[in-house]
């Protein structure tokens, strides 16, 4: 058994507080949020039941963790109602509308600018090669 495998194996939860398994070695009956969503389920308020862990050089802690939830306690995803679809459409419209010039664009306004590019940089100089006239 490799040392990376043994550092991530704690089925009793003594070391990490919750049962911990190596990446791709979680027992049946557990799933991540994304796996639950693919099956049309949601955690439904249940606490984290276990976690899977693997070494990751790019992270400060040196490990990457995914939380697992019990599939038997998961609930069905609530369906979208017409009011929810409408609220989502209005929210997306607000993200595409410039607050200064009130123009609606086909993309979301950058949050770093808080307005459209034309309002953020109104006097952008034109390069000499694009002015026409003299070479």
**Which of 11-15, 41-45, 88-92 shows the lowest mean pLDDT across its residues?**
11-15
60 or 130, higher pLDDT: 60
Say whether pTM exceeds 0.75.
no
Q: Closest Cα to residue 53, out of 27, 26, 76, 30?
A: 26
Q: Are 40 and 76 in contact (CB under 8 A)?
A: yes
Pairing of strands 41-42, 50-55: unpaired
Q: Is 130 helix (H, G, I), strand (E, B) or coil?
A: helix
Is the per-residue pLDDT at 98 higher than 90?
Answer: yes
With cut-offs at 50, 70 and 90, classify the pLDDT of residue 39.
very high
Where would I find the beta strands (DSSP E) of 4-131?
20-22, 30-31, 41-42, 50-55, 63-70, 75-76
């Amino acid at each position: 058994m490799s040392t990376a495998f043994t550092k991530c194996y704690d089925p009793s939860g003594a070391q990490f507080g919750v049962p911990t398994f190596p990446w791709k070695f979680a027992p049946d009956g557990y799933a991540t949020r994304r796996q639950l969503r693919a099956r049309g389920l949601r955690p439904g308020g249940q606490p984290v039941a276990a976690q899977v862990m693997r070494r990751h050089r790019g992270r400060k802690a040196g490990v990457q963790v995914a939380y697992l939830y019990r599939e038997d306690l998961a609930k069905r995803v609530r369906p979208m109602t017409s009011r929810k679809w409408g609220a989502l459409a209005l929210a997306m419209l607000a993200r595409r509308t410039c607050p200064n010039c009130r123009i609606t664009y086909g993309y979301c306004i950058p949050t770093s600018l808080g307005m459209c590019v034309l309002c953020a940089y109104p006097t952008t100089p034109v390069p000499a090669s694009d002015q026409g006239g003299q070479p």
